[in-house]
Structure 1
Amino acid sequence: MATTEEFLRDYGVDIRGNGQRRWPDEIKARIVAESLKTGATVNAVAARYGLRANHLSEWRSRARNGRLVLPAAEENGFCFASVVLSDGAGAAAVPAVPERGAKSDGMSAVPIEIAVGQVTIRLESGTKAARIAEIVRAIGGRP
């Protein structure tokens, strides 16, 4: 059976000679996501990884503030969000399907907007899908 240090090194945690650990952001995010599951407690999850509970609490705060992007929730089924384009003038929504003859090279000059409540995040039209997904996951659980 692997020791805690061997287990952590397998996940990419840098453990120095004096015992200090440097946790990659990806691992921090996975641990935070685990601590947010129903029934999980900060103390129990922290103990499982040999962490102090206050470190995990700090990581959770970073995730809430958008400084740590959590992995997508693992679900058995798919969950799709409806995508609607709007001209911002309060007119009827336009389906997010390009018209025939429209530029299909993916380089539209229209910026991407993500609206959550009264906050609108504007991104350049060339923003990569992976970055958009990170942002949506980071704000996904907020009203």
Structure 2
Amino acid sequence: MATTVEFLRDYGVDIRPNGQRRWPDELKAQIVAESLKPGMTVNAVAARYGLRANHLSEWRGRARDGRLVLPALAEDDLCFAPLVLREEEAPAMRMAQERSSPDPQALGPVEIVMGQVILRLDGATPAARIAEIVRAIGPTP
């Protein structure tokens, strides 16, 4: 059975003689992505890789700030987001559907909400572009 040092070196971790470890960004991103999966905890993932939970939390913060790029999700990991219509928007939506060529501006902006961030797109944004954006954002933790 491989020791922890051998296991980590197989993943590309540079372990110095004094015990310090230098983790490649790709591996950090993979570990962060694993910690964001439903049912996973920071402590459990950190223990699996033999690192401190506060280091993993720091890496998660870097990913949130855009300083660590997470790997793309497999197509099977895609999920649908709930659609919420406000009552005051329903008549405008009905009128637009009744027209033969709906005016995208009449529908108003498309909003994608990720925590405290709201992404507003023009009503004329093609559905394919919206799908690309949603795939790039990925699921929220």
TM class, shorter-chain normalised?
A: 0.5 to 0.7
1:140 to partner: Cα distance: 3.1
Structure 2, unpaired ranges of 5+: 79-103, 121-131
Structure 2 residue aligned with 1:140:
138
User: 21-30 vs 35-44, which deviates more?
Assistant: 35-44
Assess if the C-alpha contact under 8 Å between 1:13 and 1:21 holds in 2: yes
Question: Where in structure 2 are the equivalents of 1:11-22 lying within 5 Å?
Answer: 11-22=11-22
Assess if the C-alpha contact under 8 Å between 1:29 and 1:70 holds in 2: yes
Structure 1 residue aligned with 2:71:
71
Instruction: Count how many residue pairs are aligned between Structure 1 and Structure 2.
Output: 100
Structure 1 residue aligned with 2:126:
none
Assess if the C-alpha contact under 8 Å between 1:69 and 1:138 holds in 2: no
Q: Kindly provide the amino acid, as one letter, of the partner of residue 39 in structure 1.
A: G
Q: Report the secondary structure of 1:18's partner residue.
A: coil
Query: Cα RMSD between the aligned structures?
Result: 3.2
Q: In structure 2, what is the Cα distance between the partners aligned to 1:14 and 1:37?
A: 26
1:138 to partner: Cα distance: 6.4
Q: In structure 1, what is the Cα distance between the partners aligned to 2:50 and 2:17?
A: 16
TM-score (norm 1): 0.56
1:39 to partner: Cα distance: 1.1
Q: In structure 2, what is the Cα distance between the partners aligned to 1:2 and 1:51?
A: 17
CA pair 138-3 structure 1, distance change in 2 beyond 3 A:
farther
Q: Deviations over 1:89-138 (max 9, x none)?
A: x669xxxxxxxxxxxxxxxxxxxxxx966558xxxxxxxxxxxx9x9776
Greater fraction of residues in helix: 2
Q: Report the secondary structure of 1:6's partner residue.
A: helix
1:31 to partner: Cα distance: 0.5
TM-score (norm 2): 0.57
Counting aligned pairs with the same residue, the percent is 75
Q: In structure 1, what is the Cα distance between the partners aligned to 2:27 and 2:46?
A: 13
Q: Kindly provide the amino acid, as one letter, of the partner of residue 18 in structure 1.
A: N
CA pair 11-138 structure 1, distance change in 2 beyond 3 A:
farther
Q: Greater CA radius of gyration, 1 or 2?
A: 2
Structure 1, unpaired ranges of 5+: 80-89, 93-114, 121-132
Structure 2 residue aligned with 1:30:
30
1:55 to partner: Cα distance: 0.2
